[in-house]
Amino acid sequence: MRKERLRVTFGAGDAPWDMERVLERYEVLYEAGLVAEAERDHGGSKNDGNENDLPHMAQAATGRLAALDHRRMMATALGRIRGKLRYRPVVFELLPENFTLLQLQKVAECLAGVSLHKQNFRRLVTNNRLVEPTGQQDRTSPGRPAELFRFRRDVLYERPAPGVGISARGGG
């Protein structure tokens, strides 16, 4: 049963990756003692004192100790946001009114936890008419000025699920 849980939770073998399973992945890592909170909550190290063992290295790789159950709360929130990406324009709520398509893509990638193909992502947001050009350019960054866009609010009334279309399986 453990192998099956790992396979499904982490998308191993023939199981698809599900970006919404953030909390489940955290819980598996916690139970295995691979996050710093597990050591703190269980009153000491789960390892045998060998500094080179896997739990010690994995704890270093999973970040610093979070207070109380804050990492669990962040995992819960991230999983919920990832689920909403498909049907709510959450990404646009985290951007300024005018933004570049690169800024939009970076926010979407951070929330989804996956890298997205640049041209496919741009095609997705423009063909679905999620954004509209402002006629202005961003001249603050070096190089060629980037075109500025804004979220097309009419989308909220035109369709029941105006998300950016990044699936829970991690495509874009």
pLDDT of residue 101: 94
Of 141, 55, 49, 59, which Cα lies nearest the Cα of 103?
A: 141
- Single out the residue in 81, 100, 132 at which a domain terminates: 81
pLDDT of residue 56: 60
pLDDT of residue 66: 84
Indicate the pTM of the whole model.
Answer: 0.72
pLDDT of residue 37: 86
- Single out the residue in 81, 107, 134 at which a domain terminates: 81
Tokens at 152, concatenated: 């097309």
Helix (H, G, I), strand (E, B) or coil at 164: coil
Spatial distance between the Cα atoms of 107 and 104, rounded to a whole number of angstroms: 5
Domain count, the chain: 2
- Single out the residue in 61, 81, 101 at which a domain terminates: 81
Instruction: Specify whether 103 is located in the same domain as 59.
Output: no
Question: Which residue shows structure tokens 């849980």?
Answer: 5
What is the span of the domain harbouring residue 44? Answer: 2-81
pLDDT of residue 100: 95
pLDDT of residue 150: 96
pLDDT in tens, the chain (172 residues): 888 899 999 998 888 888 889 999 999 988 888 888 888 888 655 444 444 455 565 556 677 788 888 989 999 999 998 888 878 888 898 999 999 999 999 999 988 888 889 999 999 888 888 999 999 999 887 888 999 999 998 888 887 777 666 654 544 4
pLDDT of residue 51: 46
User: DSSP label at 147?
Assistant: E
* Helices of type H across the chain: 2-10, 22-31, 36-41, 54-61, 70-84, 90-93, 101-112, 118-127, 155-158
Q: For residue 151, what are the β-bridge partners?
A: 131
Let me know if residue 172 belongs to a domain: no
Residue 94 — φ and ψ, nearest 5°?
A: -105, 5
